Amino acid sequence: MLLVTGSESFLADRAVRSAIAAVSKHSAEVEVTDVEAVTLDVGVFAELTGPSLFATERVLVLRGLENLPSEMAPHLIEYAGSPSDDVLVVLVHSGGQKGKAVLDKLRKASVNEVVATAPKAWELPQFVAGEIRLHGGTVDEGAASALVDAVGHDLRALAGACSQLVSDSGGQAVTAELIGQYFGGRAEVTSFAVADAAIAGRTEPALEQLRWALDCGVAPVLVTSAMAGGLRGLAKYASAPSGLRETDLAREVGVPPWKLKQLKQQVRGWTPGGLATAIKAVAQADADVKGASGDAGYALERMVITVSQAHTRR
């Protein structure tokens, strides 16, 4: 019996597929039944966990375990204590407190558990690197982060992008250049380019990136969001306790370890007063582009200029 718990549906689905594949690897005939736990009763459960007339092995996937009828809980716990050798029961619980009593009893019965929890934002480049290795490719930390910036935080979309990039890389490493060819037009990349240039104090390049982004139809709120995220990370880095190990510092700031080098470079020229001025400017611009001002383009230009000039303020 296998218990899959957690709210990340992509990882949960992968765990279910992996379990089915493991059974199929050792048996030529596998019968898979996928049902919602809420529909279960004693008779149906006995039928689904009994020997199959048409296959040597069976896999029963019960989804939505948190919705299991209360009268079924004792039967499921009893089965967990002595499962059939010919049937793999995969229980999928979407997380949360509902159905926790059943989960606790299953864990006491030593049921194998896979936890499907979404990685934190700073762990996503590690997820990307793992996905690319899974498909036989290689990638460095900077390129992995570039893919996260381009595609976003959805694991299913990231996994699909990793598969595509490895397939099309011709056996070569997946690089930032290759990612740029596939995803360089994404709004997120453009927004982060504006933020990086402004935070570095490069006013003219930042304004050029901003105008190009707006001409390409990038939503103004994406620009303010990228700028806010960049300054937030910088402020956390600047105020972090000294003497921390790299992994502890990355956790404190909320970024992947490789990004610490970038933050170390960016923090030069910034003072607490300058950061406060920049953050205030971004908050005002965010309010403006969401309706407080009739000219979003002007609001963003004013934000970029204020942020880039605050970089050198003493």
pLDDT digits 0-9 by tens, 58-104: 899 999 999 999 999 999 999 999 988 889 999 999 888 899 999 99
Q: Where are the domains of the chain?
A: 2-115, 121-183, 187-310
Nearest-angstrom CA–CA distance, 35 and 88 = 14
pLDDT digits 0-9 by tens, 18-53: 999 998 888 778 888 999 999 999 999 998 888 776
Alpha carbons within 13 A on the beta-carbon side of 261: 4
Say which CATH topology domain 187-310 has. Answer: Zinc Finger, Delta Prime; domain 3 (1.20.272)
Alpha carbons within 13 A on the beta-carbon side of 62: 26
Question: Rounded to two decimals, what is the model's pTM?
Answer: 0.60
Judge: domain 121-183, CATH 1.10.10.10: no
Judge: domain 2-115, CATH 3.30.460.10: no
Nearest-angstrom CA–CA distance, 3 and 88 = 11
